[in-house]
Amino acid sequence: MRALIAEDDPTSLLLLKKLLEPYGPPVTAPDGAQAIAAFEQALEEDRPFDLVCLDVMMPGMDGHEVLAAIRAAESNRGLLIGRGVRILMTTALGDSENVMKAYRGRCDAYLVKPIDRDKLVKHLESFGLV
């Protein structure tokens, strides 16, 4: 599984890396702009990510903006809705406004930090990634 983690908090990044490493070494990005660059580079190299873990609160672009940019990049390449990368929002924000905004932006799942390993794995299984 090819995974991209967009996370600016070192502790959260370390935890997610540890949880995802058994399935393949994840690529990391400390902010939204670098996450988009890594995502687009993977598409250009025909080595797309299977999963993007996306924090909502990041410097520069927030996770909602990155989500929109990823879905736009997929659309520009002719990927049909539901056929693109699986996007898992991983954030401390559990309020209904952020959750609904993420789902309207076509995220596939939403996990509130601290990330629970069992919940993460259940999502990966439901996505058909593990």
Instruction: Read off the pLDDT band of 104 (50, 70, 90).
Output: very high
Structural domain of 45: 3-124
The answer to whether residue 130 is domain-embedded is no
Give me the mean pLDDT over the 58-80 stretch.
91
Instruction: Read off the pLDDT band of 82 (50, 70, 90).
Output: low
Instruction: Answer left, alpha or beta for residue 76, where phi above 0 means left and psi between -120 and 50 means alpha.
Output: alpha
pLDDT at residue 77, as a whole number: 87
Burial classification of residue 54, based on how many CB atoms lie within 10 Å of its CB (0-12 exposed, 13-18 middle, 19 or more buried): buried
Give me the mean pLDDT over the 13-22 stretch.
96
**Distance of alpha carbon 5 from alpha carbon 13, whole angstroms:** 7
**Distance of alpha carbon 23 from alpha carbon 92, whole angstroms:** 24
Express each pLDDT in 20-50 by its tens digit: 999 999 999 999 999 999 999 999 999 999 9
Residue 118: CATH number of its domain:
3.40.50.2300
pLDDT of 127 over the 70 cut: yes
Query: Pairing between strand 51-54 and 27-29?
Result: unpaired
The answer to whether residue 39 is domain-embedded is yes
Average pLDDT, the chain: 94
The answer to whether residue 129 is domain-embedded is no
The answer to whether residue 62 is domain-embedded is yes
The answer to whether residue 29 is domain-embedded is yes
% of the chain exceeding 70 in pLDDT: 98
The structural domain count of the chain equals 1
What pTM value is reported for the model? 0.93
**Distance of alpha carbon 1 from alpha carbon 37, whole angstroms:** 19
The answer to whether residue 110 is domain-embedded is yes
